[in-house]
Amino acid sequence: MTAAAPICAKRVLPGFTLSLGTTLLFLTLVILIPIVALVLKGAEIGPQRFFQIITSPRTLSALRVTVTAAAVATVFNAVYGLLMA
């Protein structure tokens, strides 16, 4: 008897592994480089100066604007999302 060659199932998404690898590489670079830069900059200035920066009125105002905009967008999306459903 001769051994039959194994049957390889066709993939549903050809090239999926290459596209997934490219996507993960790109996202890793886009996300990890800024995070590493932020951590290095934070370690460079010391904890006391870092705390001064994050508690300054300008930083707190920026955070307040960001959180408010996110809350407004969330409510807007919730209302119109429920209307569309």
- Domain borders along the chain are 33-84
The model's pLDDT over 2-53, given as tens digits with 9 standing for 90+, comes to 666 666 667 666 677 788 888 889 888 999 889 999 889 888 888 899 899 9
pLDDT beyond 90 at 77: yes
pLDDT beyond 90 at 79: yes
pTM exceeds cut of 0.85 = no
Helix (H) or strand (E) holding 32: helix 16-45
Distance from C-alpha of 27 to C-alpha of 62, rounded to nearest angstrom? 26
Instruction: Please give the pLDDT value at position 8.
Output: 66
Distance from C-alpha of 40 to C-alpha of 38, rounded to nearest angstrom? 5
Instruction: Please give the pLDDT value at position 14.
Output: 67
